[in-house]
Amino acid sequence: MSASNDGGPRGWLYERTGVDRVWDALFARKVPEAQGWVSWLYTLGSATLFVFVLQAVTGTLLAMNYVPSPDHAYDSVRYINTSVVMGHYLRGLHHWGASAMVVLVGLHMLRTYFMGAYKYPREGTWMIGVLLLVVVIGFGFTGYLLPWDQKAYWATMVGTNIAGQTPFIGPYLKKIFRGGPEMGAATMTRFYALHVLVLPAIVGALIMGHLFLVVWHGISEPPTRAADADAEKEPGR
């Protein structure tokens, strides 16, 4: 008897929501057979998704005690580190998780490129992945300012000055990022809004589109297996 046909609470939930089909499509899908360390390369996408969920959870908990203003941001971070229960642990997870997410996205894209998984019919999956990399870098850039210490302030100053060197639109980008000619309260507000509202909405939509295409097209096989499969289809073999 299938889970959707049993009489228990799980069957009731499955029959009315179809969550079992979603689970099968996302987590019980067939992964191409690969040998040795190559098989581990297929875990990079799932690892990246796990770290994103971790960032969302820890970021939400940190936001409950964070004050996004130049006058109180640094003190609120110190309060999280010293007074909030497991606050230093949550902030550490969020801090290092940000670096881990950039590394994992980069490795995942390298795996996709060198295994040729960006080719037909998966070009759309690849393009969404490129956009996700850009958004993840945006997360790092906007989140770096939020502690509002000397390192964060001057690093953001350098970053916005670099954006200001963009041909034609540089001065406008610099003013948009800073919220005015100089860094101040408006800069903090804009970076915080981007970090907790705008970028999460964008990355959520991109992840859903990315997962849909992965399920729709399936996971690409390693180049050697794909070549062997093509050879077997040739006449006379």
Task: Give pLDDT, residue 190.
Answer: 95
Closest CA to 139 of 77, 90, 192: 192
Low-confidence ranges of the chain (pLDDT < 50): 1
DSSP 65: T
Question: Greatest CA separation found in the chain?
Answer: 77
Vertex 100: Cα angle to 89 and 173 (nearest 5): 105
> Mean pLDDT score of the chain, rounded to an integer?
88
Residues 33-55 pLDDT 10s: 766 677 888 889 999 999 999 99
Tokens, residue 182: 């100089």
Task: Give pLDDT, residue 154.
Answer: 96
Task: Give pLDDT, residue 1.
Answer: 47
Residue found under tokens 């609120």: 76
Task: Give pLDDT, residue 236.
Answer: 52
Closest CA to 116 of 220, 230, 231: 220
Residue extents of the structural domains in the chain = 43-217
* Contact predicate 165/183, CB 8 Å: no
Amino acid at 150: Q
* DSSP letters spanning 167-218: TTTHHHHHHHHHTSSS-SHHHHHHHHHIIIIIHHHHHHHHHHHHHHHHHHH-
pTM: 0.84
Question: Residue 105, class by beta-carbon neighbours within 10 Å (0-12 exposed, 13-18 middle, 19+ buried)?
Answer: buried
Look at domain 43-217 and name its CATH class: mainly alpha
The runs of H, that is alpha helices, within 66-86 are 73-82
Is the backbone of residue 181 left (phi > 0), alpha (psi -120 to 50) or beta?
Answer: alpha
Vertex 168: Cα angle to 159 and 193 (nearest 5): 45
* Contact predicate 3/11, CB 8 Å: yes
* Contact predicate 105/48, CB 8 Å: yes
